[in-house]
C-alpha cells in the first residue's frame, strides 16, 4: 500500500474507521453545519466553551475518509485551546495542506495533524481536509451557522 501512504496514512485510516468525539452535544454553546457540495459531504460541529477555552468539541456527519479523519483529529487537537489558539492552529493547518509539498510541517506544533501534509499534492482534496475546520470556526465565532466549501 506504500504508494497511497502519502495521503492515506495509517492514523488517517484509523480515525476514519473509528472517529473520535463522534457524538452530539445537547444544548451546545455553538454549532455549525458544513457542506462540501462537490462530494456531498456534510458535517455538524458542536462546541462547549469554558470562557474563552474549548471545553468540549464533537462532530457528526458523513463524508470521505479525509474529511472524517480531519474532523476527528481536529476535535482531539483543539480541546482546551483558546479561540485565538484555534484560529492560529487552523492557519497553520491550512498552509500545510495548500503549500508547496517541500515545506515541511512543524511537527511539534502540528502534532498528529502533520499526517495531513500529504494533502497538498491533491488539490481536489484540500476542501475535504479543511471542511471541519471552517465549520468549527463558524461554531466558535458566531455560535451557529452554515458554511460551505464552495
Partner 1 sequence: MSLQVLDRQIDGSFDVERIREDFPALAQTVRGRPLVYLDNAATTQKPLHVLDAMRRFYTEDNANIHRGVHSLSQRATDAYECARCVVRRFMNAPDNREIIYVRGTTEAINLVASSYGSIALGPGREVLVTELEHHANIVPWQMACERFGATLRVVPITDEGELRLDTLAGMLSSKTAIVAVGHASNALGTVNPIREICRMAHEAGAAVLVDGAQAAGHLPVDVQSLGCDFYAFSGHKALGPTGIGVLWGRMSLLEQMPPYQGGGDMIRTVSFEKTTYSDVPGKFEAGTPHIAGVIGLGAALEYLMACDRVAMEAHERDLLQYATERLSAINGLTVVGTAPNKIGIVSFVMDAAHPHDIGTIADLQGVAIRTGHHCAMPLMKRLCLPATARASFALYNTRAEVDALADALERVHGLFSGG
Binding site for partner 1 (CB under 8 A): 1, 3-4, 7-8, 13, 16-17, 38-42, 62-66, 68, 122, 124-125, 128
CB of 134 to partner 1, least distance (A): 17
d(CA 68, CA 60): 9
Minimum CB distance to partner 1 smaller for 40 or for 80: 40
Minimum CB distance to partner 1 smaller for 131 or for 147: 131
Residues β-bridged to residue 41 = 36
Instruction: Please choose, from the candidates 86, 37, 36, the residue with its C-alpha nearest in 3D space to the C-alpha of residue 57.
Output: 86
CB of 61 to partner 1, least distance (A): 10
Three-state SS sequence of 107-123: HHHHHHHHHHHHHHHCH
CB of 120 to partner 1, least distance (A): 14
Minimum CB distance to partner 1 smaller for 7 or for 71: 7
Minimum CB distance to partner 1 smaller for 86 or for 130: 130
Minimum CB distance to partner 1 smaller for 34 or for 63: 63
CB of 129 to partner 1, least distance (A): 11
2-9: list long-range contacts, CB under 8 Å, 24+ apart.
6/118, 6/121, 7/66, 7/118, 7/119, 7/121, 7/122, 7/125, 8/65, 9/115, 9/118
CB of 3 to partner 1, least distance (A): 6
Q: What helix, strand, coil percent values describe the chain, rounded to 5?
A: 50, 20, 30
Amino acid at each position: 500500500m506504500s504508494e497511497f501512504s502519502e495521503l492515506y496514512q495509517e492514523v488517517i485510516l484509523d480515525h476514519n474507521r473509528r472517529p473520535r468525539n463522534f457524538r452530539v452535544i445537547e444544548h451546545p454553546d455553538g454549532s455549525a453545519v458544513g457542506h462540501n457540495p462537490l462530494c456531498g459531504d456534510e458535517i455538524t460541529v458542536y462546541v462547549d466553551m469554558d470562557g474563552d477555552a474549548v471545553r468540549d468539541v464533537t462532530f457528526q456527519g458523513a463524508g470521505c475518509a479525509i474529511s472524517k479523519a480531519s474532523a476527528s483529529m481536529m476535535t482531539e487537537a483543539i480541546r482546551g485551546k483558546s479561540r485565538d489558539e484555534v484560529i492560529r492552529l487552523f492557519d497553520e493547518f491550512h498552509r500545510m495542506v495548500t503549500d508547496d509539498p517541500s515545506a515541511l510541517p512543524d511537527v511539534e506544533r502540528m502534532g498528529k495533524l502533520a499526517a495531513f501534509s500529504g494533502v497538498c499534492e491533491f488539490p481536489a482534496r484540500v476542501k475535504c481536509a479543511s471542511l471541519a475546520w471552517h465549520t468549527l470556526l463558524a461554531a466558535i465565532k458566531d455560535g451557529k451557522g452554515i458554511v460551505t466549501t464552495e
